[in-house]
A and B are shown apart, each in its own frame.
Chain A
Amino acid sequence: MTDHFALQRQRRAINGWLLLAPSLVMLSVFALYPSVATVITSLWSRGTRRSPSEFIGLENYRYMFDDPGFWLVVKNNLFYAGVTIPISIGLALAMALWANSKLPARGFVRTAYFTPTVLPMIAAANLWLFFYTPSFGILNQIGAFFGADPVNWLGQPSTALWAICVVTIWKEAGFFMIFYLAALQTIPPDLKEAADIEGASRWTYTRRIVLPLLMPTTLFILVNALINSVKLIDHLFILTKGGPSDSSKLILYYIWEHAFAYFDRPTAAAMTAMVLAVLGVLAALQFIVFDKRAHYR
């Protein structure tokens, strides 16, 4: 009897591991191992043929904190996040509320809003490169029509980062709108009717009923937007390459430069580890703070 039970238990364990195996393998190879390898690399010096790499502890991190270039890209990235996150979420919400109301061409409006999301970032950047081109780009042509002087949006430090932000907002707002739209459609219409009978205005209904019910979606979008503000840098390669004079350089681009342009892998690894840690803490904080205020059904 005991043998039988032992065998059964064993078989169940094997079944469990088999079911677990695919994700375990994928996650280990593509997420777990690179993360650990990154942290390890960041603790070793850059090796050359003459001086092989050696363990130097937190030396790479000290170098990173002493590097003014690093602080510049951190500042740029904070600005980038501070501008793109609230604006794209606000726009997404406004568009969703509008696209959810009874419109004559509702399907068209939704599709139009969603189109930028379908476009690859590289293609979008090429499109915007054409908009931004000095003198004969669309923006300057419109400006010229109203008598404004041509502006080199991407070519001067004062406007380059703003121009990058606009592309990101344009790209992301439609994507976030889809989430809001889906959430809005789960709100039963009789809540609106009940509020109508109580005499609540459209604004009161939106503020007191709709926004709180959208809170879980907002939280989800916020985390995504935050990650994207670090991750989404494809357009930098097309539009500015971080210039002019590093004014539009973001952290990930800087890391890429270190790893693949200067072949300084340990420094890149140190910065990557840093970014991972900060993002992890931020996401955890968001969940803890907002969870108390978000209502999950």
Chain B
Amino acid sequence: MSFLSLEGITLQWDGQGGVRDINLTLPKGAFLSILGPSGCGKSTLLRLIAGLEHPQAGKIVIDGRDVTALPPAQRNLSMVFQSYALFPHLNVAENVLFGLKVRRIDKVERSTRLAKVLEMTGLTGLEKRKPSELSGGQRQRVALARAAVAQKPLCLMDEPLSNLDAKLRNSVRRDIRALSRKLGLTVVYVTHDQGEAMSLSDKVILMNNGRIEQVGTPTELYNRPATTFAAQFIGEPPMSLINGAALGYDSGCTVGIRPEAVKVVPAGQGDLDVIVDDFEFMGSETQLALTHPAAQGLAAIMNDEARFGLGHKIGVQLPDESRLLFNTVSGETEKEPKQ
């Protein structure tokens, strides 16, 4: 039984931008990430679900109710904004309780819920602070608390971590995950950061140019990218693409391979001879950037500390079972790796 479903959602401005023909279903309690480069329409899609924008075509169903024409307040959802959208003149407690006061929930209930969410988000003791007196991470927690206190079954998050520094991002990320599990929330989470999307979600939607490029679990997206776009967007470094002709395939196909599957061998002993362009020592591993006339973004990951001179010629072995074949013209997967 799906909790949230979108059917043929379209919203475009002057025939461009926005989103086109989006179809999607999500079960209750699932964590969905909408991932994509900037300008791909992921925030628009979230705003459409929230009711802050209205689609030109299509239908939005939340919990069995057609909400396409309803205003945001009647959709039974909460939202966390990228800019937090905290009310600057209200203190933490007033910010969190704003919605409950609007909905005239009685005072006793309000204070129990407030105490609970502040404890959950680690904000206890900061009730009387104004947003301007809080750090970025604390503000973000207030925004989360405001969404959690509403006890709505669906929570929308619009790049909630993008204004935080890297370290804070990891800790708030864990908080979001813990909170959504504890409250049994269905979450739709917009991000351009694949690390966030992969680590948080049960399901990921990869968007490009207003369309859905691929839907699947993080593992599916990583192991079986549906298109060359997905292959090159996901993974750090992403999948390398090699012209099929260089490896003895039909020239109408492209071979994709994950850097960790690439094996480095002495020159002449592998499938291709390549030039070492750059290497980065990352602690547990070393990343090699390689160049070959037929390859795009070719990289290899080595676990030992072997070093090569820049411009050195080495060979790479591309194991058959890790190769993915794409149609060069359409960009779609033709053959999945042999398991």
- List the interface of chain A (C-beta within 8 A of B): 188, 190-191, 193-201, 204, 208-209, 212-213, 215, 295, 297
Chain A residues with Cβ below 8 Å from B132 are: 297
Cα-based distance from A21 to B98 in the complex (angstroms): 52
Shortest C-beta distance, A156 to chain B (Å), equals 48
Given A190-B85, A297-B88, decide whether A196 and B52 contact each other with a Cβ distance below 8 A.
Answer: yes
**Smallest CB–CB gap between B96 and chain A, Å?**
11
Verify A188–B83 contact, CB threshold 8 A.
yes
What are the residues of chain A within 8 A of B88 when measuring CB–CB?
Answer: 213, 295, 297
Closest chain B CB from A79 CB (angstroms): 34
Docked-complex contact B89 and A199, CB < 8 angstroms:
no
Instruction: Give which listed residue, B72, B103, B150, contacts A196 with CB less than 8 A.
Output: B72
Q: Does B311 contact A (CB under 8 A)?
A: no
- Which residue among A193, A204, A209, A215 has the maximum number of chain B CB atoms within 10 Å of its CB? A193
Closest A residue, CB atoms, query B75 = A197
Q: Give the residues in chain B near A200, CB-CB below 8 Å.
A: 73, 98-99, 102
A-B contact count, CB below 8 Å?
Answer: 60
- Given the complex of chains A and B, what is the CA–CA distance between A201 and B73 in angstroms? 10
Give the interface size class of chain B.
Answer: 20 to 34
Contact A204 B85 (CB under 8 A): no
Residue B3 at the chain A interface, CB threshold 8 Å: no
Can you list 23 A-B pairs, Cβ within 8 angstroms, ordered by A? A190-B81, A191-B85, A191-B87, A193-B79, A193-B81, A195-B102, A196-B73, A197-B50, A197-B73, A197-B77, A197-B78, A199-B73, A199-B74, A199-B99, A199-B102, A199-B103, A200-B73, A200-B99, A200-B102, A201-B102, A204-B102, A212-B89, A215-B89
- Report which residue of A196, A198, A200, A209 has the largest number of chain B beta carbons within 10 angstroms of its beta carbon: A198
Flag if A295 contacts B89 (CB, 8 Å). Answer: yes
User: In the assembled complex, how far is the CB of residue B143 from the closest CB belonging to chain A, in whole angstroms?
Assistant: 9
Q: Which residues of A contact B71 (CB under 8 A)?
A: 196
Q: What is the CB-to-nearest-CB distance from B302 to chain A, in angstroms, rounded to a whole number?
A: 46
Q: With A198-B98, A199-B103, A201-B102 given, can you name 14 additional A-B contacts, CB distance below 8 Å?
A: A190-B83, A190-B85, A191-B85, A194-B79, A195-B98, A196-B73, A197-B50, A197-B78, A197-B99, A198-B73, A199-B73, A200-B99, A213-B88, A297-B88
Cβ distance B44 to chain A, nearest Cβ, rounded Å: 14
> Top 8 A-B pairs ranked by shortest CB distance?
A198-B99, A199-B73, A295-B89, A194-B85, A190-B85, A212-B89, A197-B72, A200-B102
Alpha-carbon separation in the docked complex, A212 to B88 (Å): 10
Interface residues of B in 54-100 (CB under 8 A from A): 71-74, 77-79, 81, 83, 85, 87-89, 98-99
Closest chain-B Cβ to A244's Cβ sits at a distance in Å of: 49
Q: From A215, which residue of chain B is reached at the shortest CB distance?
A: B89
On chain B, the residues within 8 Å of A195 by CB distance are 98, 102
